[in-house]
């Protein structure tokens, strides 16, 4: 059975479509790009070199912030991330990401808790499959320090 496509907003509402969505579109709601923000990520583990977290931040309004970016560092594949930030009342963000290179595959969830200065802490949990073998769990935590993006 072919899916019907409705082009007339009145017709969509009459057929039980997303009336609230139409109200948002009609009201001119917009997403605002707030810019790219960068943090130096330093693990509490002395063996881990610093990494760079760079995120593009959007605002949906009402303290909802979708974020997209990467973590890069020496001798590691870039981790591509997406997630959201919210005021709870402190600013917190949850990011999900993955990285793949010839010898390793990773999937990560990272929780960021920010101070008013936008510095803060992170906690990470994930899985890593070295050499295509069995997945091993990962955990890490440390500090994030706001730095200029280059």
Residues present in the chain in total: 150
Percent with pLDDT over 70 in the chain: 81
Dist CA 81 CA 13 (whole Å) = 36
Using one digit for the tens of pLDDT, what is the confidence trace for 7-34? 444 444 444 444 444 344 445 568 999 9
Residue 72: is its pLDDT beyond 50?
yes
Q: Are 50 and 39 in contact (CB under 8 A)?
A: no
Pick the CATH number of 31-147 from 3.40.50.2000, 3.40.50.11540, 2.40.128.30, 2.40.110.10: 2.40.128.30
Structure tokens belonging to residue 84: 């959201």
pLDDT in tens, 110-143: 999 999 999 999 999 999 998 778 899 999 999 9
């Amino acid at each position: 059975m072919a899916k019907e496509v409705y082009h007339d907003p009145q017709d969509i509402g009459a057929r039980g479509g997303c009336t609230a969505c139409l109200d948002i579109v009609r009201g001119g709601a917009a997403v605002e790009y707030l810019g790219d923000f960068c943090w130096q990520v330093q693990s509490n583990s002395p063996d881990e070199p610093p990494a760079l977290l760079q995120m593009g931040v959007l605002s949906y309004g009402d303290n909802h912030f979708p974020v997209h970016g990467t973590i890069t560092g020496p001798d590691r594949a870039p981790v591509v991330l997406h997630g959201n930030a919210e005021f709870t009342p402190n600013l917190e963000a949850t990011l999900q990401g993955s990285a793949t290179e010839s010898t390793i595959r990773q999937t990560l969830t990272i929780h960021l808790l920010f101070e008013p200065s936008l510095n803060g802490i992170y906690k990470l949990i994930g899985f890593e499959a070295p050499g295509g073998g069995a997945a091993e769990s990962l955990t890490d935590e440390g500090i994030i320090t706001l730095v200029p993006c280059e």
